Amino acid sequence: MSRSKQIGVLLVGKYEIVQESLRHLIESHEGLVVTGLYTFDRTKSDLSGVARADVAVVYLTAEDQVDVVGDLVSENPSLRVVILVAGADLDSQARALKMGAVGIVQIEQSARLLVEAIRQTHAGETWLNQTVLHKILEREKHPNEPSDNRSNGADATSLTPRELEVIKLLAAGRKNKELAKELSVSEATIRHHLSSIYGKIGVDDRLNLVIYAYENGLVDMPGSPSNQTAYRPTSNGSELNGN
């Protein structure tokens, strides 16, 4: 794979030893190259090199501020941010998602999953562990901390039975091609359904659609602690291209 087609990865974290370890891991895989190393004490003006990166891996501990995620996305709106969590609480992880992160990998998970998360988020998908997503959603339901994505559910009444079926399959991680096959329709029809659903409930991507569906009882919560599968819905509107 030529360098021009490689995935550029920016490493962001507090500890040099962690960054160097991640650099060695990432560059040992074909098609991945580290384009820069950044620490949390850099000012926003030091983030000019972010434009060269495709994906940022942010090593987040309990002591770190998640505001860096917003700075990264502000500097490069197309950047895909993956959080490598080492003790950060659920509130921090939820804030990171709201600021634009599209993936969360726990430090105790395998290195293979981090590499896969980099590749999948670069391809336009979202990488979230269902158990973590469940916990974040439960935390977001706290009455004193209302979710930005929650609705009173009134708009859901306009959804058709087929649209509800699409949502349930989408929450299970199905892609457009899989949805079309299971429902025996064309991918163009699936795109039409998604566009209609987005408009009715006021969201603009799959992640927020799934969060809305969980919060409004359209699908069951992924509540089993033993369920460690990654939820990877396509996002950033790539479904409009039939992915």
Q: What percent of the chain has pLDDT over 70?
A: 74
pTM for this model (two decimals): 0.60
Q: Are residues 111 and 157 in the same domain?
A: no
- Total domains in the fold of the chain: 2
Q: Are residues 78 and 184 in the same domain?
A: no
Q: Are residues 7 and 104 in the same domain?
A: yes
Q: Are residues 106 and 188 in the same domain?
A: no
Q: Are residues 115 and 200 in the same domain?
A: no
pLDDT at res. 148 = 44
Q: Are residues 20 and 113 in the same domain?
A: yes
Instruction: Please list, in sequence order, all residues whose beta carbon lies within 8 angstroms of the beta carbon of residue 172, skipping any fewer than 6 positions away.
Output: none
CATH of residue 61's domain is 3.40.50.2300
Tabulate helix, strand, coil % of the chain (nearest 5). 50, 15, 35
Q: How many CA atoms lie within 13 A of 83 on its CB side?
A: 32
What pLDDT digit, counting tens, does each position of 107-159 carry?
Answer: 888 899 999 999 999 988 888 766 667 667 766 655 454 444 444 443 677 88
What pLDDT digit, counting tens, does each position of 171-189 carry?
Answer: 877 888 888 899 998 888 8
The H-assigned helical ranges of 28-145 are 67-75, 90-98, 111-122, 130-140
